Amino acid sequence: MLELAPAFVDAAALLAQEGAAAAPAIPNKAAAALAVGLAALGAGYAERGIGSAAVGAIAEDESLFGTGLILTVLPETLVILALVAVFLVPQ
Amino acid sequence: MSVKETDGTSNYEYVTARVQARRAALFSDEDYRKLVRMGPSEIARYMEETEYESEVNALGSRYDGVDLIEHALNRNLAKHFNDLLRWADGQLYEFIARYLRKFDAWNVKTVIRGIYSDSESEAIEEDLIYAGELDRQFLDRLVESSSIEDVVEMLDRTRYGDALAAAYEDYEESGVLIPLENAVDRTYYEGLMSGVTETDDRATQLYVEFLQAEIDFRNARNALRIARTGADLDPADYFIEGGQLFRASELSQLSTSVDELATFIRDSTYGDDLSEALDELERAESLIGFEHALDAALLKYSDHLSHVFPLSVCPVLAYVLAKEREVDNIRAIARGREAGLSESEIESELVIL
């Protein structure tokens, strides 16, 4: 087992050198796009619960439509904030 | 209504939002204060302006006075509780359905009592509350049956079958209804919690805790009644499994004296919630006052749970309890007014938080 260790260390060092030289696996802009996508997923999940509660409340009392709508779209701000990342990240 | 498949996820958000809205529409103290000063027909008129409107209008031509109020209340109760089952999916449906089986128990007992006392089938039918799991047609067939034996036979396939069949022998020997009614109650309470007691889910734990409290209170109430009447009954026979406060053996010992029982409850986990009720019991010697205080304590506890855990079954259960309480209160006011009780006497019959 022990005699194998130096071989692993060498391999790791080699990989590290190569990685530094090559382009990143995910380019900057792609990473930003991924961030926006994940944020949208999060917003969607948050809206699922709020939306169903809002529809329930509106079904009982129509005057709650405004409140329900506002609360439902609040998580949308997550996506808008994440969108900033796309413009901030360099090419 | 039939038992639907309970796969899929629970829609707690939707159901609790609707339930909270309906809860907010329940009568307030102010409404009760007004109602206490009204006569039966005025109460019916007042209800017409609230959410009981459609029921009062639908039944207005057939009944009047207290009968109208009572039928409107029962029908409204059934409507709301059927709504709960209609909305809920998944595990939530199962929880609610389990709890609402108390109306099945109520209906079965009503039918048995009605047949025992040779009432007209229409009179029995009027007292049924169609909010449980047994559907309307089945209940109507039950009402039509000619003897208690037929009823027990028809219920054979339901959850009450075995317990009732066993209790029927006792009934034949003794000729009193207590074994049958007790069998129905026990089946209900024991079916409430089977299969959910051991879980890591906090919401389910709360559900279990709440039901345990209800069973404990029920046991305490039965024990007190037996202690108070001094009847020669063994409370262990009427003991309901599933609570955490009493064991059957303790209960039969405690029920020999009201004082001992009161001390026992005071030292238990419910002591703080019930201290007022226990004071009342010792001071006024009134069992009714104590029972109302128990109801109020359970109501308060369910409220507390629904605030601590808004996205669980607790708000739904709290609503069911509060709605039942409202219906009982309005009925007590209407009946009290009809019997000519004074305002303060009626108020002492109400359970208001």
Half-sphere exposure of B102 (CA within 13 A, CB side): 16
What does the DSSP 8-state code read for residue A22? S
B21 and A56 within 8 Å at the Cβ level: the answer is yes
Q: How far is B17 from chain A (nearest CA, A)?
A: 5
pLDDT tens-digit readout, B82-140: 899 888 888 888 888 888 888 888 888 888 888 888 888 888 888 888 887 788 888 88
Give the tens place of pLDDT for each residue, A21-80. 578 888 889 999 999 999 999 999 999 999 999 999 999 989 999 999 999 999 999 999
Specify the residue for token string 């559900």.
B207
Which of A53, A61, A64 is facing B14, going by the closest CB pair? A53
State the pLDDT confidence band at B1, using cuts at 50, 70 and 90: very low
Contact B55, B79 (CB under 8 A): yes
| Least confident segment among B2-11, B28-37, B93-102, B168-177 | B2-11
On whether the CB atoms of residues B313 and B207 are closer than 8 A, the answer is yes
List the single residue in B with minimal CA-CA distance to A64: B21
CA atoms within 13 A on the CB side of B61: 2
B16 touches chain A (CB under 8 A): yes
Interface with chain B: mutation pick from A45, A48, A50, A61, highest number of B CBs within 10 Å: A61
Rg (CA), chain A: 24
pLDDT for the residue B2: 44
Q: Which of B150-164, B170-184, B316-330 has the highest mean pLDDT?
A: B316-330
Q: Is B306 on the interface with A (CB under 8 A)?
A: no
